[in-house]
Amino acid sequence: MRMLKLRLPDTLEVNDFDISMMIASQLYKNCKLSLGEAAKMVGVSKETFMELLGHYGVSVFSTSVSDLREDIANA
């Protein structure tokens, strides 16, 4: 897994986990990561990631048919 270094303003009052979730949830929403990949990126289980998605304004239901098929196959 590659690492990314971000420069964030000191005034940003968001913890590291929330930033990771924001990025992972948007990558999932935009079909750049599967549910499992996004969960792994954040360091939580698929179930936990699914539960948290709503807090970040993302539906658990992907718009990608291939992601849906992959999720069903891995269920």
Mean pLDDT by 10 residues, the chain (75 residues): 90 94 94 93 96 90 71 78
Split into its structural domains, the chain has a count of 1
Residue 1 included in any domain: no
Here the contacts of 2-7 (C-beta below 8 Å, separation 24 or greater) are: none
Residue in the structure block whose two tokens are 């291939």: 66
Residue 43 included in any domain: yes
Residue 10 included in any domain: no
Residue 35 included in any domain: yes
Which range of residues forms the domain containing residue 32?
Answer: 16-73
Give the pLDDT of residue 9: 93
Identify the CA nearest to 73 among candidates 34, 41, 45.
34
Overall pTM surpassing 0.85 (yes/no) = no
Residue 68 included in any domain: yes
